[in-house]
Amino acid sequence: MRVANRLQGLAQSEIRRMTRECERVGGINLGQGICDLPTPPLVRDGAIAAIRENRSTYSFAEGARELRDAIARKLARDNGLQADPATEICVTVGASGAYTAAIHALLDAGDGILLFEPYYGYHLNAAVVAGLTPEFATLRPPEFTLREDALEAAITSRTRAVVVCTPSNPSGKMFRSDELEALARVARRHDLLVITDEIYEYIRYDGRPHLSPAAVAGLRERTVTIMGLSKTFSITGWRLGYTFAPAEMTRAITLVNDLYFVCAPTPLQLGAARGFDAPRSYFDELQSGYQRKRDRICAALRRAGLEPIVPEGAYYVLADCARLGFKTSLQAAMHVLETTGVASVPGSAFYRGAEGEKLLRFCFAKDDEVLDLACARLAALG
């Protein structure tokens, strides 16, 4: 059996691998960002009602009108973005489906796509499968500050696009307005496409506001904004995301979305459309709930001697595992799993080089009881 050349060197992600290892030992999975909190009844019952009403056939390739209208209202309300739901939004099979559709629609094989390191491995590997040339600019902890000169230096003659994940998986970094303004200047100078991943937009800490790159002057016309519903409504398995981009780009994205996926699951789209009607308090409670979880796990990691890089947003925390004395972060992750029953993801999943080998990523999107148990078990490392 022959496997395509474009898959050379690619294997299933460490994220999924650790889930299997965790199941093997019956551990607590703080590895894969599964998010097993309850789905809001409004969303769940909306999907059930749609199925009961037999609304189970294809939607338009760009998504059900109800959901696109709800997304446009939400973009105006929460992101300061004015979107035409008829021409500028495409509903996709998760944010990953949005990313796939966008890179195939807007980039050609060989084009350079710049990722900020630490990166989300799916951004890298999906780009490789699409035949793109990955390029990197490393951001350093604890602030992961984006500097204009460093970004400028990372641009090559191939570079056609930059990926901005904010709040970031895995670092939790949230890009500030001065950083996004620097990005806008560089993008304009080199005529770059900006592809965002804002799936964690509602999960952020210490009152920090989320800034959508497309809302920054000079970026809207060259940006594909990718957002998703998985994390906001705890429906990671429903696979719903969307793009917001100028009409011409959206037409191209919709074409690819149709060819690859036909459409996102219709009744689930209709359920999710109801979610944006949730009262403000739902989003506030989402934040305060996650803030408590972040603070708990950071304290537990500190007690265990795994100094956390405290995240500004998203539901992951990178922790320094150098003290454990392993050569690789995979060995460290396996040791933590064997001794405490808590699974994490090795930092090497998010870095090309040695920097990742002293880091572990823990996901804290867990029910309070499960998270508390995991925190107690981590103390065994102390």
CB of 33 to ligand GLN, least distance (A): 3
**CA 224 – CA 214 distance, rounded (Å):** 8
Residue pair 40/282 in contact by the 8 Å Cβ criterion: yes
Q: Do the Cβ atoms of 141 and 312 come closer than 8 Å? A: no
Binder among 18, 30, 33, 71 for ligand GLN (CB under 6 A): 33
Contact 38, 282 (CB under 8 A): no
Give the binding-site size for ligand GLN (rule: CB under 6 A): 5
Smaller CB separation from ligand GLN, 187 or 337: 337
- Between residues 46 and 167, which has the closer beta carbon with respect to ligand GLN? 167
C-alpha span between 250 and 246 (Å, rounded):
6
SS3 226: strand
Rounded distance between C-alpha atoms, residue 80 and residue 63, angstroms:
22
The closest alpha carbon to 15, from 245, 316, 246, belongs to 316
For helices 65-79 and 266-275, what crossing angle results, to 10°? 30
CB of 53 to ligand GLN, least distance (A): 31
CA separation for the pair 55, 65 (Å, rounded): 13
Task: Tell me: does residue 29 bind ligand GLN (CB under 6 A).
Answer: no
Burial 92-103 (b: 16+ CB within 10 A, else e): bbbbbbbbbbbb
| Identity of the residue, 68 or 202, whose beta carbon is nearer to ligand GLN in the bound complex | 202
Give SS3 for 37: coil
- For helices 368-378 and 329-340, what crossing angle results, to 10°? 100
The reply on whether position 18 binds ligand GLN by CB under 6 A is no
Is residue 15 part of the contact set for ligand GLN (CB under 6 A)? yes
Q: Is 241 in the site for ligand GLN (CB under 6 A)?
A: no
Closest CB 15 distance from ligand GLN, rounded Å: 4
Residue number, 68 or 231, with CB nearest to ligand GLN: 231
- For ligand GLN, the binding residues in 151-170 under the rule CB under 6 A are 169
User: Closer CB to ligand GLN, residue 33 or residue 63?
Assistant: 33
* Distance in Å, CB of 175 to ligand GLN, minimum: 19
> What is the nearest approach in angstroms of ligand GLN to the Cβ of residue 359?
14
Kindly state whether residue 32 participates in binding ligand GLN, applying the rule CB under 6 A: yes
* Contacts with ligand GLN, 112-151, as mask; x by CB under 6 A: ----------------------------------------
Residue 197 or 357 having the CB closest to ligand GLN: 197
DSSP tag of 247:
H
- What's the closest the beta carbon of residue 285 comes to ligand GLN, in angstroms? 22
Q: Where do we find the tokens 């920097």?
A: 355
Please report, in angstroms and rounded to a whole number, the separation of the first and last CA atoms in the chain.
48
CA distance 238 to 69: 19
> Can residue 347 be called a binding residue for ligand GLN (CB under 6 A)?
no
Closest CA to 221 of 260, 257, 250: 250
Could you tell me the smallest distance in angstroms from the CB atom of residue 190 to ligand GLN? Answer: 29
Contact 304, 333 (CB under 8 A): no
Nearer to ligand GLN, 6 or 16 (CB): 16
CB of 350 to ligand GLN, least distance (A): 9
3-class secondary structure, 137:
strand
Beta carbon nearer to ligand GLN, 8 or 12:
12
In the complex, which residue's CB is closest to ligand GLN?
33
CB of 337 to ligand GLN, least distance (A): 16
Closer to ligand GLN by CB, 32 or 254: give it: 32
Which residues in this chain contact ligand GLN in the complex, by CB under 6 A?
15-16, 32-33, 169
